[in-house]
Structure 1
Amino acid sequence: MTELVLVANAGDSTVSTFRVDPDGPALQRIAVSEVGQGCGTFVIDAERDLVYAAAKGDPPGIDVFALERSSGRLEHLSRTDVESSMTYLALAHGGTLLVGASYGGGSAQVFGVDGDGHVEEPTAAVSWPNAHCVAVAGDGRHVYVVSLGGDVVAQYALSPAGVLSPLAPPTAAAPEGSGPRHLVLDADESHAYVMTEFSGEVLTYARDGSGDLVLTGQVPAYAQDRGLSRSELGADPIEGHLIWGADLHLAREGRVLLASERCESTLASLPVADDGSVGEPVSFIDTVTQPRGFTVLAGGELAVVTGEQDTDVALVSVGADGVLTEIGRYDTGAGANWARSITV
């Protein structure tokens, strides 16, 4: 049993498929498939070998592809136009619903998915400024919408019919001006972790049985010795040498949290305690340029990092103590900004 890693190359409008060689460890690119214009996010339905990929353009859309596991190729099946391009996609209720966040559209939407995997018309839509991420929990019962512009995580119940109902309270606050961006849940879904774009912090939220999130901690996850200043909406992070937090994922069976920062192009490693709290970073590594997205492989010991201004992806080892070591770099294409893996 091995893994495939899919990487979206927005600049080329392609997806590269890599096979993971665990003995190396190393990556081998086995396929390059054309996808929709500027594809910057996708989600994999491993049960049906389907890939749902967002596309920009006029009009923007969501394309559905069949994944051929042996070759790694994507075969186009269908396309559904949407009002505004999606920044993040997640599946819910056994793949019968697709949830998306649109940064430019300032909204999150729920779409039905039919038996063939075709994306249907929206069943629900909610407005949140600069919605950047959607996360699904509780076997699809709960959906979280991360609003970068609103400094909140909106909380909803999601029915099998695709109806969104606000929880009580309807939002969990983030620190003012922090710019919450991406959210991940731990294995038992008792904690959620959010990466902020403007303050470069990991926020920790406790999650109870009702789905409610309560902020319990925050810790910097950027290289504080490199002269970075706090950013704000509309600022140019490169010109101003500003914090530009991006993605985060759990590794090492949830004992390590990884976070990327794009201005200085670093990947950080932070320890996660038994009570779910997050400690100060224990390791930083320079990585591919502008690491917008990355994924952690199934064993939790390796990460594949993509760079918006790079043509390579980096394969990084995550030590038991959280120490990060780059193993190698592999050609992928222009504008690589998203990665996900599937066990085959």
Structure 2
Amino acid sequence: MSNGRTHIMSAPTHASFFAIVSNAADGDLAVFRVDASTGRIERLARHPAGEAVMPMALSADGSLLHAATRAAKRTIVTYSVDSGTGSLARLRTASIASSLAYLSLAPSGAWLLGASYGEHSVSLYRAADVHAHAHVEPVQVIDGIENAHSIVASSDGRFAYVASLGSDTVSCYAIVERAADARLELVQKVRVEPGFGPRHLRFSPDGKTLYVSSEFRATVAVFARDAETGTLTARSIAPRAPALAHLHDGPRPRASGTAGTEVDPSTRIWAADIQLTPDGRFVFVADRTTSRLISYRVTDDGSLEYAGYTDTETQPRGFRIDPSGRFLVACGEQSTHVAVFAIDAGSGALALLSRCEGGRGANWVEIIRQMPHDVC
């Protein structure tokens, strides 16, 4: 809930930016421009991608975008990105075997990392193969990771971290590169509380902390991270948000097949994405059941305290914070609009600035800073 006055830093020193949203139901990517002086969002274009397009991975320099489709035809679609205009040019569509719930890039851009929730596995792809061939096999698949939901690489490209929702574990793998080859080698597997349901992962700006969102509680587990060894040490778990006090923890129930025994899924927490402000002061988690963004403040001792909530687009699966830390862009799977919020620099409170018509089944957001010399 947004309280108090929202302070937006003066705009001249900040670049406007483009937000790219994947629309699973429409099978396309929508490109929006957000004005840095006003926070106004406008849709620029829509680009076909493929049925059930969902996770996206942006290269470190913002020049390449990869998007994975999860329908019967599973692919990774690669686009070049014009950071001056926001336009996308489709370069290659490579078919793959897995349905990827998460896709990310190693900082070097040489390796794509994928997590398959239904296949209980993670995969390592050579990016050059994805860019060059119509069908791509992973260079490595690691099976037995129950409901693998995300995989992210550290900023130095030495380690990859995997959230296993089904086993309540977070694993660290070394990314071992040899010539043109690479392998993921297990370094450590750590457990979170039973029933936590780890979903998505984010690093603090200095890389010394790993934040893990809970799908079943909408809380966040905080781990200290050793940059040299990659290992994690549990520090704390954020408190449960009072804004979700009327909901139960645990996975959304499925129909049992016996009449009258079904439980209303709207009584369960159903958290999704997690994002941090670039200064590392605030952490946000999306809950799809209530369509709320839950905010946490990072305290002096590194733990998280509840800071508030903001209503957003219906069933928010994905959202993103711009590089300046002034704006948050959110979409919803059951909304056809994309919203821009101002982030109060002092409190982390969100204030709605603008909305724009988007697409159906919106689920993922990537942001690209607009190059200043190309701004009209």
2:217 to 199, 202, 215: 199
CA separation in 2, counterparts of 1:44 and 1:89? 9
Runs of 5+ in structure 2 lacking a partner?
Answer: 1-14, 256-262, 371-376
1:32-71 maps to which residues of 2 (within 5 A)? Answer: 32-47=46-61, 49-71=63-85
Measured after TM superposition, the shift of residue 70 of structure 1 is 4.1
CA separation in 2, counterparts of 1:190 and 1:70? 33
1:116-265 maps to which residues of 2 (within 5 A)? Answer: 117-118=131-132, 120-127=136-143, 128-160=145-177, 161-167=181-187, 170-208=188-226, 209-220=228-239, 222-224=241-243, 226-232=245-251, 235=254, 239-251=265-277, 253-265=279-291
Instruction: Return closer, same or farther for 1:26/1:221 CA change in 2, 3 Å cut-off.
Output: farther
2:127 to 113, 117, 120: 113
Q: Which has the larger radius of gyration?
A: 2
Measured after TM superposition, the shift of residue 48 of structure 1 is 6.5
CA separation in 2, counterparts of 1:47 and 1:200? 31
Measured after TM superposition, the shift of residue 47 of structure 1 is 3.0
CA separation in 2, counterparts of 1:19 and 1:238? 38
Measured after TM superposition, the shift of residue 225 of structure 1 is 5.2
CA separation in 2, counterparts of 1:37 and 1:223? 38
1:277-288 maps to which residues of 2 (within 5 A)? Answer: 277-279=303-305, 281-288=306-313
Question: What residue in structure 1 maps to residue 299 of structure 2?
Answer: 273
Amino acid at match of 1:201: T
- The 8 Å contact of residues 289 and 315 in structure 2, kept in 1 or not, is answered as yes
CA deviation string 1:53-100 (max 9, x = no partner): 000222311111122334433222212222221111111151011001
CA separation in 1, counterparts of 2:127 and 2:278? 33
CA deviation string 1:293-337 (max 9, x = no partner): 100001112100110111011211111212221222211110111
1:7 to 21, 24, 33: 21
Question: Does structure 1 residue 300 correspond to structure 2 residue 332?
Answer: no
Which structure is richer in relative contact order (CA contacts within 8 A, separation 6 or more)? Answer: 2
Q: Determine helix, strand or coil for the equivalent of 2:46.
A: strand
CA separation in 2, counterparts of 1:3 and 1:340? 10
- The 8 Å contact of residues 64 and 118 in structure 1, kept in 2 or not, is answered as no
Q: How many residues align?
A: 341
CA separation in 1, counterparts of 2:324 and 2:359? 26
- The 8 Å contact of residues 252 and 301 in structure 1, kept in 2 or not, is answered as no
Runs of 5+ in structure 1 lacking a partner?
Answer: none
Q: Which moved more, 1:295-304 or 1:216-225?
A: 216-225
- The 8 Å contact of residues 53 and 62 in structure 1, kept in 2 or not, is answered as yes
Instruction: Return closer, same or farther for 1:271/1:162 CA change in 2, 3 Å cut-off.
Output: same
CA separation in 1, counterparts of 2:47 and 2:331? 17
CA deviation string 1:267-315 (max 9, x = no partner): 1111112442211x21211111011110000111210011011101121
Measured after TM superposition, the shift of residue 51 of structure 1 is 1.0
Q: Determine helix, strand or coil for the equivalent of 1:187.
A: coil
Amino acid at match of 1:259: V
CA deviation string 1:93-139 (max 9, x = no partner): 51011001111221110100128944753121112111111111151
1:83 to 84, 88, 97: 97
Instruction: Return closer, same or farther for 1:283/1:129 CA change in 2, 3 Å cut-off.
Output: same
Amino acid at match of 1:257: V
CA deviation string 1:153-212 (max 9, x = no partner): 111000233201110xx2111111111000000111110001111122111011113111
Question: What residue in structure 1 maps to residue 369 of structure 2?
Answer: 343
Measured after TM superposition, the shift of residue 19 of structure 1 is 1.1
Q: Which moved more, 1:183-192 or 1:324-333?
A: 324-333
- The 8 Å contact of residues 311 and 334 in structure 1, kept in 2 or not, is answered as yes
TM-score w.r.t. length of structure 2: 0.86
Q: Percent of aligned positions with the same letter in both sequences?
A: 33
Q: Which has the higher strand share?
A: 1
Amino acid at match of 1:337: N
Question: What residue in structure 1 maps to residue 352 of structure 2?
Answer: 326
- The 8 Å contact of residues 194 and 202 in structure 1, kept in 2 or not, is answered as yes
- The 8 Å contact of residues 335 and 360 in structure 2, kept in 1 or not, is answered as yes
Measured after TM superposition, the shift of residue 27 of structure 1 is 1.1
